[in-house]
Structure 1
Amino acid sequence: MAMRDEILAQIQCAELAGSYEQMIKYLKELIKLDPKLNPEALQWLSTAYERVVGNRRYVWLEMNNENPKPRSSSKFHKFHVDSNPNKVENEIRHYCREIINMVTEKLLPIAETLDEKILFYKLLGEYNHYLTEIENGTACREARDAAIIGYSTAYELSNGYFASCNPIRLSLILNFSTFRYNILNHYDLAYQMAEQAYSIATDELNNLDEEDKPIPMQIIQSIRQNLSTWDRESKHRDSHRVRLNSY
C-alpha cells in the first residue's frame, strides 16, 4: 500500500507540473502493480496520453502542412520546431503502440463496467486512428481496421447508456466522425453522425448544471467547427464536379 500511495503521489505531482511523460512513466508502474484502475486513474491515463500524443500530432501535422499556422509558444512546440518529422513520427508511433498494447493486454481483459469498456474501446479507436496518419501500406491498413473496430464498438456500447452531453460520448463522436471523414473518406456518414450529435447535445445542454457545461460546450464547439469546414469542402467538391461535367 505504501508503494501504491507513493506512485499515486508521483502521478499527481507530475500532473501539476504538466510533465505528462512522467505521468505515463508512473502510470505504467501503477498498472504493473495493479491493472485495476479506479475512475481517477483512468482519467489520468486518458489525459497523459492525450497530451503527449496530441502535442506531437500537432507538430507533425504542422511540419507536413504546406501552409503551416504560427507555432504555439509552448515548450514542447519550441523544442520540436527544427525536429526531423521522422523523429516526431517515431515518438507518435511509440506512444500510440504503447497505449494500444496496454489497453489490449492488461486493461480491457479485466474491464468489468460498461464505462470502462467504452473508454478502452474508444482509446483503441483513437490511437489506431492516429497511427493511420503516419503509417503506410500494411501497417496503415491494419491500424485503420483496428480503429474501425475500436470506434464502432465504443459507439455501439455508448448508445443509450451515456447521456447526449456526456463528455466521453461527445469526444468519441468528434473523433469517430473525423476518422470517417479524413481517413475513410465517408463524408456523408461523418457529417450525419456529427450533425445528429451536435443537434441533440445542443438541445440538452441547457439542462446541465452550470459547473457541468464547460467541457461539453468545448467539444460541441469543435463538432460545430468540423461541420462548418465540411460544409465548405462539400460545396467545393460539388463545384468541382460541375466543372468536370461541363467540359
Structure 2
Amino acid sequence: MCKFASLLVATDPDEGNPVNGSDRLNENQLCCQRKNTIISHIKPGAVMTSSKEDLVQRAKLAEQAERYDDMADAMKAVTEMDPNLSNEERNLLSVAYKNVVGARRSSWRVVSSIEQKSGADQQKSDTDQKKVCMLKEYRQTIEKELQDICDNVLDLLDRHLIAKSESAESKVFYMKMKGDYFRYLAEVATSEKKDEAMKNSQESYQQAVDISKNEMQPTHPIRLGLALNFSVFYYEILNSPEEACNLAKTAFEEAIAELDQLNEDSYKDSTLIMQLLRDNLTLWTSDTQAEAEDPEENPGN
C-alpha cells in the first residue's frame, strides 16, 4: 500500500495508512517549541498527588525521555484536574497519546501483515498452524491495548474537554481528535463495531469542519490539520479517493488564496501541512489514474 501523510495534531505518524509510517510530519514540528528543561527531583508514582504544574513538568520530562506512556498518564491527570488546558498543555496531551497509540497501530499492522501471509498458505503443518494461532492471539492482544487507549482518550474528550472548551479553536482541536481516535478504532474493528466507529469518526470530523469554516481562517494550522486527517479518513477508511482528493484540494486552494495573510507565528506549521495535503493529493490522483487505466487489476473498483 502506498504511504501518505496525515496529521494528528498536527500529525498522524502514519496517516498513510494512517500511521503506517506515512505521516512523515513529526508532531514536534507542528506543536509549539518547548524548552529543553530537565526537571529533577520528580518521584516515581507521584502523578496522583502532584500539582498541575508538577504534572505538566513531568510530562515534558517524559517527552524528552521518550517515555510516552508516562507522559500520557501525567497529562490525563492534568486534564481530570482542570480541563481548561492551555495551548501548550493541549499539545502535550495530544503528542503523548499520539505516540502511545501510534506504537500500537504500527505493531498491529506488522503482525496483521505477517498473519495474512501465513494464512495464505493452504497446506500447513502442525507447526504452521500453531504459528497462525499465536499470531492471531498476539494481534488480538495488541488490538485490546489499542482499543483501551482510544477509549481512554475518547472518555477524556467527552467527559472533560469538549464540553468545557471555550474557544472555537479548542473545540475544533478536540472534535478533530475525537474523529482521529474513532478512526483508529475503525482500523482494527470488524463488522458492526467497525461501522459504528466509522460513523462516529465521520460525524466528529464533520462537526469540526462546520465550526472551523465559520470561525477559523483557511490558513489556520488546526483547520488545515483537520482537512488533512479527514481526507485520510475518506481515502483510507471509506475507500473514497474522489472525496478525499476533493477535500484535500479545496483546503489547499483556500489556504493558498490567503497565504499572504498568514500569521508569522503559524507560517511554518501551516505551510508544512499544506505540503502534506499537496503530497497526498498528488499520490492519490496518480493512484486513481493508474486504476482507471488498468481496471482488470482492480475488479472491485
Structure 1 distance, partners of 2:92, 2:234, is 27
- Of 171-180 and 212-221, the range deviating more from structure 2: 212-221
Which position in structure 1 is the counterpart of 2:195? 141
Note the C-alpha offset of 1:225.
2.0
Which position in structure 1 is the counterpart of 2:133? none
**Which one of the candidate residues 189, 209, 225 is aligned to 1:171?**
225
Output aligned runs, 1:25-104, within 5 Å.
25-65=73-113, 84-104=138-158
Structure 1 distance, partners of 2:270, 2:142, is 30
Which position in structure 1 is the counterpart of 2:290? 236
Aligned partners of 2:59 and 2:74 also within 8 Å: yes
Q: Does 1:105 align with 2:153?
A: no
Structure 2 distance, partners of 1:160, 1:94, is 34
Which position in structure 1 is the counterpart of 2:241? 187
Q: Which has the higher helix share?
A: 1
Aligned partners of 2:220 and 2:266 also within 8 Å: no
Which position in structure 2 is the counterpart of 1:9? 57
Is the partner of 1:160 in helix, strand or coil? Answer: helix
- Of 54-63 and 160-169, the range deviating more from structure 2: 54-63
* Cα displacement string for residues 86-132 of structure 1 (whole angstroms, at most 9, x for unaligned residues): 33322221211110111012222222221221111111111001110
* Cα displacement string for residues 152-202 of structure 1 (whole angstroms, at most 9, x for unaligned residues): 000110003222222211111111011112211222221111011122324
Aligned partners of 2:150 and 2:181 also within 8 Å: yes
Structure 1 distance, partners of 2:168, 2:265, is 25
Structure 1 distance, partners of 2:67, 2:262, is 32
Q: TM-score, normalised to structure 2's length?
A: 0.68
Which position in structure 1 is the counterpart of 2:276? 222
Structure 1 distance, partners of 2:215, 2:231, is 19
Is the partner of 2:253 in helix, strand or coil? Answer: helix
Is the partner of 2:215 in helix, strand or coil? Answer: coil
Structure 1 distance, partners of 2:178, 2:224, is 16
Structure 2 distance, partners of 1:121, 1:244, is 35
- Of 134-143 and 234-243, the range deviating more from structure 2: 234-243
Change (3 A) 1:18 1:204: farther
Aligned length: 229
Note the C-alpha offset of 1:9.
2.0
Note the C-alpha offset of 1:244.
9.4
- What's the RMSD between the two structures over aligned residues? 2.6
Q: TM-score, normalised to structure 1's length?
A: 0.82
Aligned partners of 2:248 and 2:281 also within 8 Å: yes
Structure 1 distance, partners of 2:255, 2:111, is 34
Q: Does 1:19 align with 2:19?
A: no
Structure 1 distance, partners of 2:94, 2:100, is 10
Aligned partners of 2:205 and 2:230 also within 8 Å: yes
**Which one of the candidate residues 151, 170, 178 is aligned to 1:124?**
178
Structure 2 distance, partners of 1:99, 1:63, is 24
- Of 97-106 and 230-239, the range deviating more from structure 2: 230-239
Structure 2 distance, partners of 1:142, 1:101, is 16
Note the C-alpha offset of 1:151.
0.3
